Amino acid sequence: MDSWIKKDLKHIWHPYTQMKDCKILPPILIEKARGLKLYDNKGSFYYDTISSWWCNVHGHNHPRIKNAIKRQLDSLDHVLFAGFTHKPAILLAERLISITPGNLKKVFFSDNGSTAVETALKMSFQYWQNSGREKKKNFISLDYGYHGDTIAAMSVSGVDLFNEIFAPLFFKSYKIPSPYCYRCPMKKKRTFCDIECIGPLERLLRRRNSEIAAIIIEPLVLAAGGMIVYPKEYLKRAAHLARKYNVHLILDEVATGFGRTGKMFACEHAKVKPDFMCLSKGITAGFLPLGATLTTDEIYGAFYDDYKKGKTFYHGHTYTANPISCSAALASLDVFKREDTLRKAEGLISIFHNRLERFRGLDIVGDVRCIGMIGALELVRDKKGKKKFGINERIGLRIYKKGLRESLILRPLGDIVYFYLPFSITKDEIGVIVDKTFDIIKNERSVR
């Protein structure tokens, strides 16, 4: 084993990793990254098909973003954000407000996705306290939703594998069935349905709206829950119900924001205006940590008062609005504009989606779903019965290992193999990645 890896395993505990597995599958030492490729210390490369956990937007090492970071380093590294401010944060807040739904007027910065969510949950909760509606303290979330790994974010997440053990620590959150069309909770077919899966939300809100602060949803894609792409009508109706029953709508765009679904923000597909929008991951195009929670003047107003009234929002993080991160975020937004990224991506997206169609013919692939630069393949043991693989079969891990041998990072979500592609990808690279994956998955079938 490489001496660096030995040292790594001696001192480091990696996230989402059973460290014992590292004996057989040690971490790969990456030294350099360019565009879609990550290079290891032996000169081999890997296609970063999942944008390094969905944050890399324009490809690695984009010169405009790199230079903006270098310039910022020469003037201001960091400064506390209470009692002090700086131009990169001011400019970024202004830019974010100009590109998100029109009702969002205030930006609260933090430093990752979980804290962006945590901020929204706490603001919503405190809004109702500050407004004399103290009973409104519970939340509604989807059973395949995921919003991060802090206790509050986990309380409103539904991915059991990640959360089960911590359940005794959670606060109350009503879970509603997800609009998971392939495994429809109402046993309907999408082509004939009328979004009946909205029913549980409607009934819950009718009965309990007086005790509900907010509903939190990932718009259009339940990402960590299995890249479940769902109809925009569901989001429209959920937003309508939230409004009707006077409950906040928190849209978690941490994974979907910054172009991943083909539009700058996924909520644009449904023309929905949330009370809170949570951003992170792609905000700095994958260069540096940053989180942001956007909200309305109305919500901000409920906190704005004399100090002694106790309405202050007591929340913050040391690296809130780090200037270098903000500069990277501004540079990324410049790239979107100068390179006309989203318009240019339209062609790539349709090539990508067309190429994924082939997978539908494979027995092992139960569902193919895609939106924008995201594509997912749900693997099943029995296609007709939609029977899942057993957990001990570790189908995802088998494919991951084979992928690495073919220079692909196919890090699965359980039985879901997926792509989360950066905009720097070329037509040819899409072809190589999808075709290699096809061969791996096709052969997996014949081995079983």
Beta bridge partner(s), residue 346 = none
Identify the burial level of 231 via C-beta atoms within 10 angstroms of its C-beta, where 0-12 means exposed, 13-18 middle and 19 or more buried.
middle
Cα distance between residue 284 and residue 69, in whole Å: 10
Indicate the pairing of strand 276-279 with strand 248-252. Answer: parallel
* Residue in 254, 270, 410, 434 binding ligand PLP, rule: CB under 6 A: 254
Segment lying near ligand PLP (by CB under 6 A), choices 216-224, 233-241, 388-396, 440-448: 216-224
Residues 66-125 that bind ligand PLP (CB under 6 A): 112-114, 117
Identify the burial level of 124 via C-beta atoms within 10 angstroms of its C-beta, where 0-12 means exposed, 13-18 middle and 19 or more buried.
buried
Is 127 tagged catalytic?
no
Residue 243's identity, in one-letter code, is: R
* Residue in 139, 146, 245, 336 binding ligand PLP, rule: CB under 6 A: 146
Provide, rounded to whole angstroms, the least separation between the CB of residue 334 and ligand PLP: 23
Three-state helix/strand/coil letters over 366-395 = EEEEEECCEEEEEECCECCCCECCCHHHCH
Q: Is 371 in the site for ligand PLP (CB under 6 A)?
A: no
Nearest Cα to 417, choosing from 403, 429, 405?
403
Beta bridge partner(s), residue 296 = 104
| Catalytic, out of 48, 252, 275, 367 | 252
Q: Are 15 and 42 in contact (CB under 8 A)?
A: no
Residue 28's identity, in one-letter code, is: I
| Catalytic, out of 16, 42, 187, 189 | 16
Q: Is 214 in the site for ligand PLP (CB under 6 A)?
A: no
Provide, rounded to whole angstroms, the least separation between the CB of residue 278 and ligand PLP: 7
Q: Is 286 in the site for ligand PLP (CB under 6 A)?
A: no
Provide, rounded to whole angstroms, the least separation between the CB of residue 148 and ligand PLP: 3
| Catalytic, out of 127, 234, 281, 367 | 281
Nearest Cα to 78, choosing from 109, 119, 117, 114?
109
Q: Is 412 in the site for ligand PLP (CB under 6 A)?
A: no
Provide, rounded to whole angstroms, the least separation between the CB of residue 149 and ligand PLP: 6
Q: Are 404 and 322 in contact (CB under 8 A)?
A: no
Provide, rounded to whole angstroms, the least separation between the CB of residue 247 and ligand PLP: 20
Phi-psi region of 301 (alpha: psi -120 to 50; beta: other; left: phi over 0): alpha
* Residue in 154, 213, 216, 223 binding ligand PLP, rule: CB under 6 A: 223
* Residue in 48, 218, 275, 367 binding ligand PLP, rule: CB under 6 A: 218
Q: Is 148 in the site for ligand PLP (CB under 6 A)?
A: yes
Terminal Cα distance for the chain, rounded: 31
Cα distance between residue 435 and residue 432, in whole Å: 5
Segment lying near ligand PLP (by CB under 6 A), choices 129-137, 204-212, 250-258, 337-345: 250-258
Residue 443's Cα: distance from chain center in Å?
30
**Site size for ligand PLP, by CB under 6 A?**
14
Q: Is 411 in the site for ligand PLP (CB under 6 A)?
A: no
Residue 183 main-chain phi, psi, to 5 deg: -120, 60
Is 2 tagged catalytic?
no
Provide, rounded to whole angstroms, the least separation between the CB of residue 16 and ligand PLP: 10
- Hey, is 187 helix, strand or coil? coil
Is 174 tagged catalytic?
no
Nearest Cα to 57, choosing from 339, 439, 274?
339
Q: Is 262 in the site for ligand PLP (CB under 6 A)?
A: no
Whichever of 223 and 368 has its CB closer to ligand PLP, that residue is 223
Beta bridge partner(s), residue 33 = 38
Cα distance between residue 140 and residue 248, in whole Å: 10
Is 314 tagged catalytic?
no
- Hey, is 42 helix, strand or coil? coil
* Residue in 48, 252, 378, 429 binding ligand PLP, rule: CB under 6 A: 252
Q: Is 328 in the site for ligand PLP (CB under 6 A)?
A: no
Q: Is 57 in the site for ligand PLP (CB under 6 A)?
A: no
Segment lying near ligand PLP (by CB under 6 A), choices 62-70, 194-202, 252-260, 325-333: 252-260
Segment lying near ligand PLP (by CB under 6 A), choices 92-100, 247-255, 320-328, 387-395: 247-255
| Catalytic, out of 144, 146, 180, 418 | 146
Segment lying near ligand PLP (by CB under 6 A), choices 91-99, 142-150, 312-320, 374-382: 142-150
Q: Are 345 and 259 in contact (CB under 8 A)?
A: yes
Provide, rounded to whole angstroms, the least separation between the CB of residue 252 and ligand PLP: 5
Cα distance between residue 146 and residue 56, in whole Å: 19
* Residue in 216, 217, 255, 356 binding ligand PLP, rule: CB under 6 A: 255
319 DSSP 8-state letter: T
Report the interface residues with ligand PLP, using CB under 6 A.
Answer: 112-114, 117, 146-148, 218, 223-224, 252, 254-255, 280
Catalytic residues: 16, 146, 252, 281
